[in-house]
Amino acid sequence: MKQIIDLDAYPLDQPGTAAWDALVARAKVGLAQDGLFNFAGFMRPEALADTLAHVHPRMETESFHHSRWHNIYFKDDVPGLSADDPALKKVETANHTLCHDQLRGTALDKLYQWPEFATFLAAVMDRPQLYTMDDALAGINVLEYRADEALNWHFDRSIFTTTLLLQEPTQGGVFEYAQDLRSADNPNHAGISALLDGRIEPTRLPQTAGTLNVFLGVNTAHRVSTVRGAQSRIVAVLSHYPTPGHRFSESEQMGFFGRVA
């Protein structure tokens, strides 16, 4: 694993040691204060280059072009909101997707299957254990955002999201978020309307290729701004769950990936 990630800076291979405990504590501070943490330079440059050499040609010939209009909730009906409420304003998301079965044997696949990676994430999230998905398509996805494409405003379904940036775009493609815009007790529809109308300035988080990011997105609205220029934004999403055997339904696979495993 030392050929894939910088274990000197990020000793995920040493659970229970002082260095590992300090890294867990550092990540927890980031989650508590900012709702996220970044590990810049997590993936080594050589592994990054090998991964992109695998991804680039497959993106051109095998990827699923997923374009859809949606509101921030990804729901057609939200209790307490009329159909024309500004909090339900539709936005467009478009990207190109590779699935886990198209990434077997890559550095991403090896990282995802490495038990110490899940052990570290579980410790950061105060979970006894986390598990990889039992899904041929959904465990790892690589998403490409090309010129004029974006991941638009939304809330996540999962408690946390783990991403690894593989390629920075020429322009745009910046991760932006409005931390804790809603809560379990306050849906804050007015605040969501203000964000969608541009009356709330989001926090911008520039990232460099090779950065690992873990983000709490259930109540924090977030997006990736529109990509500009010749070079696209490419990011990997690595999904873990607190129980084993998690998989997408056939309708979810078809919706996200355009095919069924």
CATH code for position 97:
2.60.120.620
Tokens 């490495």 belong to which residue?
A: 114
Query: Looking at residue 258, what is its pLDDT?
Result: 95
What integer is the mean pLDDT of 205-222? Answer: 97
Flag whether 119 is in a domain.
Answer: yes
User: Are 92 and 148 contacting, i.e. CB atoms less than 8 angstroms apart?
Assistant: no
Domain count, the chain: 1
Flag whether 6 is in a domain.
Answer: no
Query: Looking at residue 80, what is its pLDDT?
Result: 86
Flag whether 153 is in a domain.
Answer: yes
Flag whether 237 is in a domain.
Answer: yes
Query: Looking at residue 218, what is its pLDDT?
Result: 96
Mean pLDDT of the chain: 97
Query: Looking at residue 176, what is its pLDDT?
Result: 97
User: Are 177 and 221 contacting, i.e. CB atoms less than 8 angstroms apart?
Assistant: yes
Query: pLDDT tens digit string along 34-75?
Result: 999 999 999 999 999 999 999 999 999 999 999 999 999 999
Query: pLDDT tens digit string along 101-158?
Result: 999 999 999 999 999 999 999 999 999 999 999 999 999 999 999 999 999 999 999 9
Query: pLDDT tens digit string along 158-204?
Result: 999 999 999 999 999 999 999 999 999 999 999 999 999 999 999 99
User: Are 259 and 253 contacting, i.e. CB atoms less than 8 angstroms apart?
Assistant: yes
Flag whether 54 is in a domain.
Answer: yes
Query: Looking at residue 132, what is its pLDDT?
Result: 98
Query: pLDDT tens digit string along 77-102?
Result: 898 899 999 999 999 999 999 999 99
Longest dimension (CA), the chain: 55
Cα separation values, 132 from 5, 110, 162, 228, Å: 19, 12, 12, 34
Domain that holds residue 26: 18-257
Query: pLDDT tens digit string along 6-44?
Result: 999 999 999 999 999 999 999 999 999 999 999 999 999
Residue 85 backbone class (left: φ over 0; alpha: ψ -120 to 50; beta: rest): beta
Flag whether 1 is in a domain.
Answer: no
Flag whether 169 is in a domain.
Answer: yes
Q: Is 55 exposed, middle or buried (0-12, 13-18, 19+ CB in 10 A)?
A: buried
Flag whether 165 is in a domain.
Answer: yes
